[in-house]
Amino acid sequence: MRARGKSLIADWHSNGQKATALRLGRAEGLTAPKLIRVPYMNIDGEGPSVLLSGDTFVSTLLDWYNTECSSFYARSVLEGESAAAINGGGSYWPLTDGTRNPWASASSSMSPRGSRRSSRTSPTRPPPRPP
């Protein structure tokens, strides 16, 4: 983990070619949680959601400019009265011949965001500069 400005960035890396997915996880101990769909984004037909717990908005999204995953998947669901799974993660698919890509191990970055203002939990990162 590292900090960049006001953002916390979590980097994952798997040695070898055995990883099949990266799950962004779940939050527990929430106060009256609600999942709010982000209408302008579409991941896996469901899209990502922003979690509202009490007066705090939380989002977890993989950085699509810094990942080697094959696809994103969405899984946002309330789990009981005080827990929620937020935004699925990324999948790492085998090549068409069934083998894993030897130069691309599982690697991704994520910036979890929490704020009392929903606009601060939206993805705002500009695209990378051309070389």
Is pLDDT of 33 > 90?
Answer: yes
**Domain locations in the chain as residue ranges:** 2-13+22-92+107-116
Residues 9-30 have a mean pLDDT of 81
What is the model's pLDDT at position 28?
Answer: 93
Asked whether the beta carbons of 101 and 59 are under 8 A apart, the reply is no
pLDDT of 34 over the 90 cut: yes
Model confidence at 8: pLDDT above 80 = no
What are the pLDDT digits (tens) for 38-88? 877 777 777 788 889 999 888 888 877 777 788 888 888 999 999 999 888
**CB contact burial 32-70 (16+ within 10 A = b; e otherwise):** ebebeebeeeebeeeebbbbbbeeebbbbbbeeeebbbe
Rounded Cα gap, residues 75 and 89, in angstroms: 8
Do residues 30 and 51 make contact, with C-beta atoms less than 8 angstroms apart? yes
Question: What is the mean predicted confidence (pLDDT) over 13-35?
Answer: 84
Residue 104 has pLDDT above 60, yes or no: no
- Least confident segment among 10-24, 68-82, 85-99, 103-117: 103-117
9 has a pLDDT exceeding 60: yes
Which one, of 75, 1, 83, 102, lies nearest residue 34 by Cα? 83
Strand arrangement of the beta sheet that strand 2-4 belongs to: 2-4, 7-13, 107-110, 62-67
Coil, strand, or helix at residue 120?
helix
pLDDT of residue 112: 66
Tokens 């717990």: give the residue: 53
